[in-house]
Amino acid sequence: MDSQRADQLFESPPAESVSPAAGDTFEARRDHILQAATHVFAQYGYEKASMRTIAKAADVSLAGLYHYFERKEQLLFVMQFRVFSSLLSNLREWLVGVESPRDRLCTMIRSHVTYFAEHMAELKVCSHELDSLRGETYDQAREIRLAYYGLTREIIASVIELDPPDYPLDLHVATMSLFGTLNWLYRWWNPSHPTPPKVVASQITNQFLAGICGHTA
Amino acid sequence: MDSQRADQLFESPPAESVSPAAGDTFEARRDHILQAATHVFAQYGYEKASMRTIAKAADVSLAGLYHYFERKEQLLFVMQFRVFSSLLSNLREWLVGVESPRDRLCTMIRSHVTYFAEHMAELKVCSHELDSLRGETYDQAREIRLAYYGLTREIIASVIELDPPDYPLDLHVATMSLFGTLNWLYRWWNPSHPTPPKVVASQITNQFLAGICGHTA
DNA sequence: TTATTTCGTTCGAACGTCCGTTCGGCTCTC
DNA sequence: GAGAGCCGAACGGACGTTCGAACGAAATAA
């Protein structure tokens, strides 16, 4: 992956490519393999998931797998990069036109929970395998994670500034408290859970808002 | 581990043993190895941690390691079992004489955060490797985890009953929200963090209490 | 007392398996 | 026939686990 630029490698499938038919097929196969790998990672964990299992899940041969991804690590990296990018760009889109700090926080949580409910395997792997990458791949994934964290932190900060609580509140602790709740979702929530995602999102929002302000939304 | 009873295997070192000197030494060596394994698990993750690395960390040979633990899985299981047992019994002790629901919740969070700050490696592994056990070992670890969860859930329930919030609140979502915050601690807090554990515990308590009631402690 | 046996403890060396990765060659399409 | 796509087969290494032998101290027998 060192031979290609990040913006060529990790974006969602491009609208066009140099060699149209072949290019489309290549990207589609690549996405299909990545999707299969994601579910294998989610089921077995990154270390225990073998390239042979991923190949079977993607319905390609072991050697064929290496035609699309140079290394096992690249599978995890590209997936994490795409997911964090999507989370961040989705959030930025949803935030357009939302000005009240409380509404922005509400939007952030709703955006995250919605994305989670629609991409459970991806977010499980992203929450659980944060330290499975090494070196440059870790740094790049970390960078975009921090951008997501930073944006959330700013939203929380403006909520607090507008309506400070009557007890000492550290901004970092508050932010990590929210991410803890959100990133723990994959441990207990699934599509067959009685509580629908919208209700979960709204309760987390209510709890967190009341928690950092002292009253509900 | 199938040839011994759980209460023989997994309790903390017994006060006496049949063969005093030798028994003491055996238990001490066992504890020492378990301690080393815990830190290796915390650093590399269960799957990536090798028995060879654990043996080096414990300063025994690879084969010598197997004199104290039959399988790699047993290392993880005994550790998890002891930690969850300690968490549960600690909490029960701390709760003795505490009657107000709010004080009981405050006690639970303080107890958990204090234990976490003093046993970071253990709780990191317990939070991160919940699904690394299989079969009977998984079931046994799960059972005691659920006891800890159940006790916490009851505490939260009585807080809510005494002082219901003005928005719909699902008890399970609320409980998991708290455990998410607590179990995510290992991702960002460490002994050199500027915020001391007592402050973290008190802020989590304040946030969570205000979150489920609408006002602070 | 000494000689012998037992047993808990330790370890070097190996076994079989699975892993990530590579290589050479096959089959299509252009 | 050039090149992409694809694959069977293998390579080297790391893994969890086992085996047989050694050691020392305690227990037993002489």
Asked whether the predicted pLDDT for residue B37 surpasses 90, the reply is: yes
Q: What is the largest CA-CA distance in chain A?
A: 62
The Cα of A127 is separated from the nearest Cα of chain B by a number of Å equal to 10
Do B97 and B167 have their domain in common?
Answer: yes
pLDDT tens digit string along A142-199? 999 999 999 999 999 999 999 888 888 999 999 999 999 999 999 999 999 999 999 9
- Rounded alpha-carbon distances, angstroms, from residue A208 to A83, A215, B5, B95: 24, 10, 44, 26
Q: Which of B177, B206, B208 to mutate to test the interface with A (most CBs of A within 10 A)?
A: B177
Q: Give me chain B's average pLDDT, please.
A: 88
- Asked if residue A170 belongs to a domain, the reply is yes
Tell me the pLDDT band of B24, cut-offs 50, 70 and 90: low
Residue B120 has what pLDDT?
A: 96
pLDDT at B182: 98
Are A99 and A88 found together in one domain? yes
Tens digits of per-residue pLDDT, A123-133? 999 999 999 99
Are B68 and B80 part of one and the same domain?
Answer: no
Top pLDDT among A46 and A14 is at: A46
Name the pLDDT band for B166 (thresholds 50, 70, 90): confident
Residue A174 in any domain: the answer is yes
Q: Does any domain span residue A1?
A: no
- Name the residues in B37-56 having a C-beta closer than 7 Å to nucleic acid strand D: 49-53
**CB B127: neighbour CB atoms within 10 A?**
18
Examine residue A193 and state whether it is found in any structural domain, yes or no. Answer: yes
3-state secondary structure of A187: helix
Q: Which of residues 8-47 of A touch strand D (CB under 7 A)?
A: 22, 25-26, 29
pLDDT of residue B31 exceeding 60: yes
With distances taken from each CA to the C1' atom of nucleotide C29, the closest residue turns out to be A22
Tally A–B CB contacts below 8 A: 132
Residue of A173, A179, A184 lying closest to B176 (CB–CB):
A184
| Residue A197 within any structural domain of the chain | yes
- For residues A54 and A131, state if they share a domain: no
Please check whether residues A200 and A121 belong to one and the same domain. yes
Structural domain contains residue B1 = no
Is residue A202 in some structural domain? Answer: yes
What CATH number did the domain enclosing B155 receive? 1.10.357.10
User: Which of A34, A51, A71 corresponds to the end of one domain?
Assistant: A71
Residue A66: exposure state from Cβ atoms within 10 A (0-12, 13-18, ≥19):
middle
Tell me how many helices (H) and strands (E) chain A has: 11, 0
Q: How far is the CA of B58 from the C1' of C13 (A)?
A: 21
Nearest residue by alpha-carbon distance to C1' of C14:
B63
B140 with B33, same domain: the answer is no
Mean pLDDT over B146-175 rounds to: 94
pLDDT value at position B42?
98
Name the nearest CA neighbour of B58 among B39, B84, B82. B39
Which carries the bigger pLDDT value, residue B185 or residue B8?
Answer: B185
Is residue B100 located within the same domain as residue B187?
yes
Residue A13 contacts residue A22 (beta carbons within 8 Å): no
At A24 the pLDDT is: 64
* Shared-domain flag, residues B160 and B185: yes
Is residue B2 pLDDT above 80, yes or no?
A: no
Mean pLDDT to the nearest integer, A37-62:
97
Kindly tell me the burial class for residue B86, based on how many C-beta atoms sit within 10 Å of its own C-beta (0-12, 13-18, 19 or more): middle
Spatial separation of the C-alpha atoms in residues A183 and A162, rounded to whole Å: 27
Question: Do residue B58 and residue B157 come from a single domain?
Answer: no
Q: Report the number of distinct structural domains present in chain B.
A: 2
Same domain, A50 and A84: no
pLDDT confidence bin for B215, thresholds 50/70/90? low
The residue-averaged pLDDT of B186-191 equals 94
Per the structure, the complete domain to which residue B148 belongs is given by: 74-213
Q: Note which residues in 54-113 of chain A have CB less than 8 A from chain B.
A: none
Q: What average pLDDT does this structure show over B15-27? A: 47
Do A176 and B184 lie within an 8 Å CB cutoff? Answer: yes
**Given A40, A56, A71, which residue is the final one in a domain?**
A71
pLDDT at A166: 85
- Written as six digits, the tokens of A207 are 């709890």
| Per-residue tokens: A76 | 């995890």
**Shortest CA to C1' contact from A69: nucleotide:** C21
Asked if B67 CB < 7 A from strand C, the reply is: yes
Predicted pLDDT at A167: 87
> Has residue A81 got a pLDDT over 80?
yes
Per the domain annotation, does B203 fall within a domain? yes
Instruction: Tell me how far apart the 2 most distant CA atoms of chain B are, in Å.
Output: 62
* Judgement on whether residues A67 and A83 belong to the same structural domain of the protein: no
pLDDT confidence of residue A26: 84
Among B48, B72, B96, the domain-final residue is B72
Domain harbouring A10, CATH code: 1.10.10.60
Angle ∠(B184,A77,A85) on CA atoms, nearest 5: 75
The two three-digit tokens of residue B31, written as one number: 């504890």
Residue B36 has a pLDDT of 97
What is the share, in percent, of chain A residues with pLDDT greater than 70?
88
Mean pLDDT of B7-19: 37
**Considering chain A, what is the average pLDDT of its residues?**
88
- A145-159, B116-130, B155-169: least confident range: B155-169
**Residue-wise pLDDT tens digits, B77-111:** 999 999 999 999 999 999 999 999 999 999 999 99
Instruction: Indicate if B49 and B87 belong to the same structural domain.
Output: no
Q: How far is A180 from chain B (nearest CA, A)?
A: 4
Residues of B in contact with A172 (CB under 8 A): 188, 195
